Amino acid sequence: MGDTVIPEAVRKELNRQFNHELMAAHHYEAMAWWCAHQTLPGFARFFRKQATEEREHAARIGRHLIDRGICPAVEAIPAPRCDFASLLEVARHARTMEQNNSRGIHAAYEAAVTAKDYPAQVMLHWFIHEQVEEEAWTAEMVARVEAATCAGALLDLDRHIERLLEAKETGGS
Ligand code: FEO
């Protein structure tokens, strides 16, 4: 365990963001089940993978707190949205969530800058970069779903996502 004392304002922000990442996982889990119910297995798999990634993000912050002698406090997570009128609503929900998540990361970073907490700043650099990617893929997903204007096109998109995930799992790009 390190002995770098973590400023209280930063501890609070990191703990808030830690729980925010767990909340994001919960939301992606709900989106995955909605897609499974709509017979969109590619999207379901994709969102389930996102849920796993969000839990890994929470763990990254949790480990940082542990390394600095703080036990992360897991808080209650409100029920995620489970009801969507269309896949487009799901995609837009994901985009809004990621935009909000970027704001949360930036708030944590600002607290670390104000407190001159360099270890937290360095740890959060990874997240700032990650959020650029997260916002980019959600924007792309919204655009692709918007462009798929008939049921057949949506199913094609779903199959495309499934193939893409399979290629990644078997070592492709
Ligand atoms: Fe943890 Fe989707 O960002």
How many structural domains compose the chain? Answer: 1
**Residue 66 resides in a domain:** yes
The 3-state DSSP class for residue 136 equals helix
Residue 58, domain extent: 8-169
pLDDT at 165: 86
| CATH number of the domain where residue 37 is located | 1.20.1260.10
Residues of the chain falling short of pLDDT 50: 1-3, 173
Q: Would the CB of 57 count as within 6 Å of ligand 1? A: yes
**Is residue 132 exposed (0-12), middle (13-18) or buried (19+ Cβ within 10 Å)?**
exposed
**Residue 77 resides in a domain:** yes
pLDDT at 11: 98
Separation of alpha carbons 10 and 166, rounded Å? 39
pLDDT at 173: 47
Distance of alpha carbon 148 from the chain centroid: 24
Quote the ligand 1 centre to 152 CA distance (angstroms): 30
Quote the ligand 1 centre to 119 CA distance (angstroms): 20
**Residue 128 resides in a domain:** yes
**Residue 49 resides in a domain:** yes
Q: Would the CB of 98 count as within 6 Å of ligand 1? A: yes
pLDDT at 31: 98
Determine phi and psi for 15, rounding to 5 degrees: -70, -35
Residue nearest to atom 1 of ligand 1 (CA): 54
Give the ligand 1 atom nearest the CA of 134: 2
**Which residue type does 98 have?**
E
Q: Would the CB of 134 count as within 6 Å of ligand 1? A: yes
Quote the ligand 1 centre to 63 CA distance (angstroms): 16
**Residue 1 resides in a domain:** no
**Residue 147 resides in a domain:** yes
**Residue 3 resides in a domain:** no
Give the ligand 1 atom nearest the CA of 57: 1
**Residue 2 resides in a domain:** no
